[in-house]
Amino acid sequence: MALLPGRRMEAVEVVEDEPVPVAARAQVTGPEPVSGPGRATRRVVAGPAVLAQVRRWWPAAFVVVGVLAVGAVVVTRSESARLDRLDGVAGLVHPIDNTLRERWSVPVQADGDVLAAGGGLAVVSSQGGTWTVTSYDSATGAERWGTALGTAAWGGTEGGRVVCPHSGADVGPDLVCLVETPSAVYAAGALGAAREAPVRIVTLSSADGVAVGGWAVAGDVLTVARAGDDVVLVTHAVDDHVLAERLDARSGAVVWTYRSEVASTSGGVTTVPTAAVTGSHVHLGGNGAVVLDVDSGEELFQANHLTYTITVSDGRRFGTWSAVGGGALHGESGRRILALPSLPQRPAVDDGSADDLVVLDGGSDVSVVDAASGAVRWRHTTDLDPGGIVADRLLLAGPGRALGLDIRSGDVVWDVQTDAAATWVPVTDGALVLVPVTAVDGTPELVAVGLGDGVRYWSVEIPPGVVDVSAQGGSLVVRTDADLHVLG
């Protein structure tokens, strides 16, 4: 913000040895010539009473200055603490000081990905028929290194993919990828039978792209995720059971392992196994529902498949919903805390400012309840989805609209009409929210509005055909079907 010009200050001379007989007033004398033609200054002569007042009150002036200085230090430290806290939140952009501009861009296929690793941005792409990971300097776009991981699918083959799991935060010193080799379709037995594609884990150094670990994977992979410096891998094993493991990212050493008690085909019933990993839990579905602690592998919850139970995480807590028992909130130990009317919906972007509350998404409404008592704080009828919790603001978003709510009162703080074609969640740096809009001339833009008040600050043009806008390691990444653009 530009500073307003202040008043000009004039030179003041205080003279003690030439008092004038004015009781308690300063007297302004006429102009006196100084060096240089036509120049003059105003001379202020202070009387004894004025000097006495100055001597009396100068200590108070120092006190005021000291209080202001302490206040400035407190504000600075508070702001620094706020920024430090937000810096560790996955999905937040680094603080935005000025209007954004494009820093660099690279081509990338629609099936590619981008993640933050070792302070840079790693782009996973299948260009040229080969899956490669290329690391770029996040600020300049200068290439740091590139590593080929395997062959991409081509004519006469099927399958083949590379998945490098991440949450939006920097994955750290090791970049882990699941590499599935495409297999040729051939007629060795039945027409169209396909060879089983070899699958392996490959761990690269985020600093130089050198392979520092890896191993072969057996069974069908249901999901793969990062957990600190480790990997959580869930497979449908050859014995028809679900196997969940937490493994050292470099050596593949087992930290913990869990094998389902019941096979996917049991009692004449065949179920399709599912798996999902959040920051705190591993959720297994199919022939029953199981929730595991991601740190220890401990079974926190288990339900028979006949109950048709769904499980979701809510930070360190988790929620369940069944056709028989309805909804419930469970604590970190798995103990049932209270009944819920619907499933929790904790957004992926969450700074922890409202951990004492639970956001519920009922499909046609969003509500917030107290995590301790279950008391409903508020409810809104809306088809928008929770997109983030930052600084006690709940972001709701959907095609054509974005809302900022006070999460504790439910008051609508701001309401912005957005691009109806945009399906991504607005991103924020903790002070500004970037929402997609279409200008009057049809140009796609990102508009920065205040998280706390919805005031519009500026807008920036973005490329046409944007399919996603996200924060990766604090960098703002804009993707189209063919390119990746980094703004800053």
84 phi/psi in degrees, rounded to 5: -65, -40
CB of 174 closer than 8 Å to CB of 250: yes
The tokens describing 96, both together, are 């935005």
CB of 245 closer than 8 Å to CB of 218: no
Amino acid letter, 167 = S
All domains of the chain, ordered by start, with CATH? 354-488 (2.130.10.10)
CB of 122 closer than 8 Å to CB of 164: yes
pLDDT of residue 187: 38
pLDDT of residue 87: 63
Amino acid letter, 412 = V
pLDDT of residue 22: 33
pLDDT of residue 301: 97
- The rounded distance, in Å, linking the Cα atoms of 138 and 176 is 19
pLDDT of residue 31: 35
Those residues whose C-beta lies under 8 Å from the C-beta of residue 306, and which sit 6 or more positions away, are: none
Those residues whose C-beta lies under 8 Å from the C-beta of residue 268, and which sit 6 or more positions away, are: none
* Residue 3 exposure: Cα atoms within 13 Å on the Cβ side: 3
The one-character DSSP state at 464 is T
Return the beta strands (E) in 6-142 as ranges.
27-28, 32-33, 40-41, 44-45, 102-107, 113-117, 120-125, 130-137
The tokens describing 223, both together, are 């999901």
- The rounded distance, in Å, linking the Cα atoms of 27 and 44 is 6
Partners of 475 in the β-ladder = 472
CB of 426 closer than 8 Å to CB of 402: yes
Q: How many CB atoms lie within 10 A of CB 49?
A: 14
Those residues whose C-beta lies under 8 Å from the C-beta of residue 54, and which sit 6 or more positions away, are: 46
- pLDDT 10s per residue in the chain (488 long)? 333 333 333 333 333 444 333 333 333 333 333 333 333 333 333 444 544 453 454 454 444 444 444 444 443 445 555 555 566 698 999 999 888 999 999 999 888 999 999 999 999 998 888 999 999 999 999 999 999 998 887 765 666 789 999 999 999 999 999 999 887 765 344 444 444 568 999 999 999 999 999 999 999 999 999 999 999 999 999 999 999 999 999 999 999 999 999 899 887 888 899 999 998 999 999 989 999 999 999 999 999 888 889 999 999 999 999 988 899 999 999 999 999 999 999 998 999 999 999 999 988 999 999 999 999 999 999 999 999 999 999 999 998 999 999 999 999 999 999 998 888 889 999 999 999 999 999 999 999 999 999 999 999 999 999 999 999 999 999 999 999 999 99
Question: Which residue do the tokens 């072969």 mark?
Answer: 216
CB of 342 closer than 8 Å to CB of 327: yes
pLDDT of residue 7: 32
pLDDT of residue 75: 38
